[in-house]
Structures are given as structure tokens and as C-alpha cells.
Amino acid sequence: MKLATLDDGSRDGRLLLVSYDLSRAVDAADIAPTLQAAVDDWPNVEADLRGRYDALNKGELAGAFDFDPNRVMAPLPRAWQWLDGSCFLSHGELMQRAFNLAPIEGVESTPLMYQGAGDDFLGPQQDIALPSEAHGIDFEGEFAVLVDEVPMGCTAEQALKHIRLVLQVNDVSLRALAPREMKTGFGFVQAKSSSSFAPVAVTPDELGDAWRDGRVHLPLKVEWNGQWFGHPHGGAMHFGFHQLIAHAALTRRLGAGSVIGSGTVSNADRSVGSACISERRAIEMIEHGAPRTGFLQFGHRIRMEARNTDGSPLFGAIDQQVVQAAPPCA
């Protein structure tokens, strides 16, 4: 299934089902008013949602309408919990080489993860509004999963059964603010602004063979101001999503609607480019002694999309412009 959230003026929007080719949509709010409500009650609503999804794809629904990604919010506009990993080891290794950092002990056996803010996720075409270019505005192309309630102590094998939806993310980062926050040991606050999501969340079966071992085995194409920036492959993820879920649930339950990110998609093969500016700058530092690529400026546009193995649309595209935030109200 493919699900989206219509921007109806409310905080959590209205649940939609979207056709396989992302051309048509239909209201599903009578089955579950929001995506959060659907995940909360998944065993009881899944069959009805699938039945309507099948009918939508067959062209049997009189109430269907053209799907417009400009009219949707993030699939889950606000989440109970947003946990982001750093599961592509080639990315971490580049950072260590570029900045002469000591290797992180146990990084190959224990996932890296921080808890971010899930209260304000951005839609796929919503402007990225930020206060200053001096903060080092960067994009980060990622994949993520959305889970139902996960019990404490859940194993990685069990965790696969709790993955309800797969998503595509732009985890916006402010690189000039990150170093101090990392040094404190308390994690990110200012350096991580609101993350953005592709218009559609999909059940794992929509990926076909591209979903295996708890990983999205697809390239993520990134364009900056209309120019190719990279297409790294999600299959290089060192820890699968099931392992990330088990790591997070070691000492606590995870509430239904928790979102877990992969971290920046990165490959050891440099010919595929990168999914964030920081990684390209690290490569430049290693090769030339200094970075040559600047960060995002107001007016710049970033586009990200992962398509299925047959070339068909999957999550839809993130396509956003960076703008200066309006001053706060007096």
C-alpha cells in the first residue's frame, strides 16, 4: 500500500491512499482518520485499507481524484518519536579521515543513534525556512521506517514484524552548529532543524525484492539546483532497520508511530556521489587539503527521489527550496 496525508488545515491532516503509480488518490479517513490512527490500530484497519487500495489501482472507485504532491504534508506530520541512526560506515570513515578524528569504539557492532525532534516534520514540497545561511545548511538523503508498538527487549528478528511503513527523508542539518553540540555529549538540538519527507509512505511489500535484510536496496538520486549530486545505494547500510529497532528497544518500549532513520546514505564507491554536502566537503578535504563546495544558500533547491527497480515511482520526490525564515512574531 501507499499512504499519504492530505493537508486539510489540521495539524495531522487526513489519511489518503495513493495508487501504485502515484497518479490517483482516494480518501481513507473513514477507515482511519490519520496515519497515526492507522498505525495505532493496524491489525483492525489493514484489511480495509488494502481492499480500497486494490480497488483504487483497478480504477473502481468513483471518489478517486488526481494525486497532487503539493497538497500533502509529511506522511506523519508529527511523530511520538524520531530516532536517527548513522548506519553507512563509509560516511563515518570519511569524516574521521577529513577531520583527524579518532575511530568510534564498537561502531561496527553497536549502532550509532540520536533522538531528534519529531514534532514538526515538513512535507515534500514545503520550503525549508531557516534563520541564517551562516549556520551551514546541509541536506541529508536517508531512508526511514515507521513502526507499530515495539516491546522492550524486542530482538532484531522480531523487529521486522513491527515495521509497518518505509519512508524517504531529507534530514536537514546545520553544520556550523553541530560541533559544539557533539562535544557536549548531550546530542543535537539546534543543529537539527525540521526533517522533510517524500509524499508517500509505503508498506514494505511495495518495494518487492528491493526490501530485504531490513534494508532498502535502491539508489537515492539527489539533485542540487537541478544538477546531479549523487545516487548512493541504500543496500550498503551496515545495520538493517530491524537491528536499529532492537537497539532502540533494548531498555524501553517504542510507541506506535515512532520513526527510525538510516542516517545519510553513503557508499564506499565515490563515483556514485553523495547524499549530503558534508560528505563531498570531506572528500575534498582529503584530496585537496580544504573543502571547495559551500553549503546551501537561500533560493537553492534540493530534490531527492528513490524509484523502484522497474523505474516506477515509489515514495515520490522531495523537491524543496531553502528560504530565509520570517522574523518571529513580536
The answer to whether position 329 is within a domain reads no
Is the pLDDT at 181 greater than 90? The verdict is no
What does the longest C-alpha to C-alpha distance in the chain come to?
A: 62
Is the pLDDT at 235 greater than 80? The verdict is yes
Q: What is the mean pLDDT of residues 307-320?
A: 97
- Digit-coded pLDDT (tens) for 206-222: 999 999 999 999 999 99
Q: What is the CATH number of the domain that holds 202?
A: 3.90.850.10
**Tell me, what amino acid is at 20?**
Y
Question: Chain centroid to CA 219: how far?
Answer: 14
Q: What is the mean pLDDT of residues 52-78?
A: 97
Specify whether 40 is located in the same domain as 114. no
Q: Rounded distance, CA 68 to CA 75, Å?
A: 13
Is the pLDDT at 329 greater than 80? The verdict is no
Is the pLDDT at 149 greater than 60? The verdict is yes
Angle at 122 between CA 121 and CA 124, to 5 degrees: 135
Identify the pLDDT of residue 330.
52
The answer to whether position 330 is within a domain reads no
Q: What is the DSSP string of 133-165?
A: GGGTEE-BEEEEEEES-B-TT--HHHHGGGEEE
3-state secondary structure of 98: helix
Specify whether 97 is located in the same domain as 59. no
Examine the fold and report which residue of 71, 91, 122 is the final residue of a domain before the chain moves on: 71
Specify whether 193 is located in the same domain as 231. yes
Identify the pLDDT of residue 182.
81
Instruction: Single out the residue of 107, 75, 79, 72 nearest to residue 91, CA to CA.
Output: 107
The answer to whether position 40 is within a domain reads yes
Domain count, the chain: 2
DSSP state of 208: G
Provide the residue range defining the domain that includes 34: 2-71
Specify whether 159 is located in the same domain as 245. yes
Percent of the chain residues topping a pLDDT of 90:
86
Q: 180: pLDDT confidence band, cut at 50, 70 and 90?
A: confident
Identify the pLDDT of residue 105.
85
Q: What is the mean pLDDT of residues 127-138?
A: 97
Specify whether 185 is located in the same domain as 297. yes
Q: 107: pLDDT confidence band, cut at 50, 70 and 90?
A: confident
Specify whether 92 is located in the same domain as 66. no
Specify whether 11 is located in the same domain as 128. no
Is the pLDDT at 141 greater than 80? The verdict is yes
Angle at 172 between CA 188 and CA 1, to 5 degrees: 110
Q: Are 112 and 182 a contacting pair, CB within 8 Å?
A: no
Q: What is the mean pLDDT of residues 164-192?
A: 89
Q: Rounded distance, CA 51 to CA 116, Å?
A: 35
The answer to whether position 77 is within a domain reads no
Mode of pairing for the β-strands spanning 82-85 and 259-261 = parallel
Identify the pLDDT of residue 218.
98
3-state secondary structure of 80: coil
Is the pLDDT at 158 greater than 90? The verdict is yes
Specify whether 44 is located in the same domain as 107. no
C-alpha cell at 16: 489518503
Distances in Å between the alpha carbon of 93 and those of 184, 230, 280, 289? 21, 18, 13, 17
Examine the fold and report which residue of 43, 71, 99 is the final residue of a domain before the chain moves on: 71
Mean per-residue pLDDT of the chain: 95
Q: Rounded distance, CA 30 to CA 48, Å?
A: 10
Q: 195: pLDDT confidence band, cut at 50, 70 and 90?
A: very high
Q: What is the mean pLDDT of residues 234-263?
A: 98
